[in-house]
């Protein structure tokens, strides 16, 4: 921001985060009152996040009510894909914004027909930087990394992987065709966050999906 000194910028950033965190706490109270399991799904663009979410919703049909808040900079294509599963979804377009914030989630949540005891999936904007700093009121952050991205991602974006409770390595069906060291990726993630859990799966073939569904059931 032109004309602002470093101290002013830090003060503004702290004020923005403080306001966001206050509203995130308010969101969390709402979620807990309706016994919602709320997950903030974060990843780089192209990780297969929406494909994984659609497959998850299909497998949960009839077992547990679900709803989705879909974040993207432009278009409603991802929310449209979600709705084909029969699950209600609200699209948030952030324009030039690189993340969802607690106010956006608050407003979208009150437009959704959520049911008690359900799961609310928040699919954040594809970005591994900004979403790490913004609490939305979720119970867990789930970082999704695909086998096509490289095993150094957890070290390049440590704040996100430090904040995540679970790392999903997606697109494992492509492992025979790419140079991706799974064990090194897991090692890098645990260097940043020793407590992070890891699930390997392919949303396309279904391999590993049971482990993900079991994690959801126990979360």
* Cα distance between residue 104 and residue 102, in whole Å: 5
Q: Give the count of alpha carbons within 13 A of 112, CB side only.
A: 32
Domain that holds residue 16: 6-218
Domain assignment of residue 1, yes or no: no
Residue 98's pLDDT band, with cuts at 50, 70 and 90, is: confident
Residue 195 maps to a domain: yes
Structure-token pair, residue 73: 């900079």
For the stretch 13-48, pLDDT in tens is 566 788 999 999 999 999 999 999 999 999 998 899
In whole angstroms, give the CA distance from residue 20 to residue 163: 16
Residue 123 maps to a domain: yes
Output the pTM of the full model. 0.90
**Closest listed residue to residue 139, CA positions, set 29, 16, 19:** 29
What average pLDDT does the segment 181-197 reach?
A: 98
Residue 136 lies in a domain: yes
Between 211 and 12, the more confident residue is 211
Residue 87: CATH number of its domain = 3.40.50.300
pLDDT-derived band at 99 (thresholds 50, 70, 90) equals confident
Is 179 domain-assigned? yes
Average pLDDT over residues 153-160: 96
Instruction: Domain count for the chain, please give it.
Output: 1
- The C-alpha atoms of residue 55 and residue 212 are separated, in whole angstroms, by 11
Residue partners of 58: CB distance under 8 A and separation at least 6 = 85
């Amino acid at each position: 921001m032109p004309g602002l000194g470093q101290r002013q910028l830090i003060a503004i950033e702290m004020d923005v985060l403080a306001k966001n965190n206050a509203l995130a706490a308010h969101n969390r109270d709402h979620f807990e009152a309706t016994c919602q399991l709320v997950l903030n799904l974060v990843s780089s663009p192209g990780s297969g996040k929406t494909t994984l979410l659609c497959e998850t919703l299909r497998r949960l049909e009839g077992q547990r009510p679900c709803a989705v808040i879909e974040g993207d900079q432009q278009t409603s294509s991802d929310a449209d894909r979600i709705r084909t599963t029969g699950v209600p979804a609200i699209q948030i377009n952030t324009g030039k914004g690189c993340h969802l914030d607690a106010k956006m989630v608050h407003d979208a949540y009150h437009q959704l027909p959520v049911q008690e005891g359900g799961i609310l999936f928040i699919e954040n904007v594809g970005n591994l930087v900004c979403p790490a700093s913004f609490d939305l009121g979720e119970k867990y952050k789930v970082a999704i990394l695909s086998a096509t991205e490289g095993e150094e991602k957890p070290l390049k974006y440590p704040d996100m992987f430090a904040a995540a409770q679970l790392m999903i390595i997606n697109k494992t069906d492509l492992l025979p065709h790419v140079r991706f060291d799974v064990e090194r990726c897991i090692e890098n993630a645990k260097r940043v966050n020793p407590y992070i859990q890891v699930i390997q799966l392919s949303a396309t073939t279904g391999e590993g999906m049971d482990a993900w569904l079991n994690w959801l059931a126990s979360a």
